[in-house]
Amino acid sequence: MSPVFCETMKNIDGMMKRAYNASGVVIMPGSGTYGMEAVARQWCSGKKALVIRNGYFSYRWTDIFEQTQIPSETIVMRGRAVDDEKTPAFAPPPLAEVVEMINKEKPAVVFAPHVETSTGIILPDSYIKAVADAVHAHGGLFVLDSIASGTIWVDMKATGVDAILSAPQKGWTGPACASVIMLGERGVHATRNSQSTSMVINMRKWLEVMDAYLAGGFAYYTTMPTDALTLFERAAMATEKVGFDKVKQMAWDLGTECRKMMASKGLKSVAAKGFEAPGVVVSYTDDATMFAKFKSKGFQIAAGVPFMINEPAGNNTFRIGLFGLDKIMNKDNCINTLEPTLDEILRENAEAAGAEAAS
């Protein structure tokens, strides 16, 4: 293996450990979803799982489990509407109820989204730590999906999270090419002392691959996306050069400003107050063609998807992704680019509605 790439692997390992205060790092070819299935196979095969579902992309845990039959049993706790409006704001399931369920059912693993892409809900650190404490009380493990967290790093030692799932393309301004799994001390121990039910996404084997690189050698398991991981390394270095704490605060500043701007135009957030993610802003709209209108003006946004949390039928949403150093380091430019286009679309919609009412 190229000595240059060996250094790349060691550099990525070090940066991930520093960003998340992690004890171990697994880099596995594929994507974030590969990591989701990998950690489930490694830690939860034939055991009881509890899933905190705050939207469609945490429904993916259920989708994986139904197709693979990994756990023996799955308990799902869904996000809740916090008002009775036609377009309700949503919050995670109440923490007290989650802790009570963990104490009662004693799941082997709890799976939760740090940031839920479809609703823009973020779990606060205090919520995360309370869940970790509850599951650790009976010897269980806590997995946090941080694929859509952007640069809102979670401190694994402070919160007690056992595994954090990420990927290069959102939090790290890198190319999609791999699943990146950070492990706490419990997570490292659990991985080294368990057997996966997969050949290719065997988390223990991929941890041992990283061991080999850190020892000054290398190990082959399956082919690594070497060129893309080198780009990931460069992007992560650029992020660390700015400062992990600084880019985290910049992300909060940009998200807060964007949400404030959109709320001023009458756009209601799907995420309830106190649970509003900075990197993913999901808003209700009466216009089912919002995605197409942004696209026609050269903007890439995402159309809404079902939340899978018993939400009212028939509502339309759209979401804005605020990932990447180019955005978070240029807050004013980002807002000043987005706002005029949003104003134009809202004005066109109002004019069309007025014309229809007059006809």
* Binding positions for substrate: 319
- Both tokens assigned to 14: 């070090």
Q: What is the dihedral of CA 113, 117, 120, 124, to 10 degrees?
A: 20
CB 131 within 8 A of CB 145: no
CB 111 within 8 A of CB 328: no
Helices (H) and strands (E) in the chain, counts: 14, 14
- Mark the binding-site residues, compressed into ranges: 319
Nearest-angstrom CA–CA distance, 331 and 293: 23
Nearest-angstrom CA–CA distance, 264 and 283: 12
Nearest-angstrom CA–CA distance, 320 and 269: 11
Phi, psi angle pair for 122, to nearest 5°:
-115, 145
Angle at 241 between CA 238 and CA 244, to 5 degrees: 100
Nearest-angstrom CA–CA distance, 146 and 181: 10
Q: Which residues contact 120 (CB under 8 A, 6 or more apart)?
A: 269, 270, 271, 276, 277, 280, 281, 282, 319
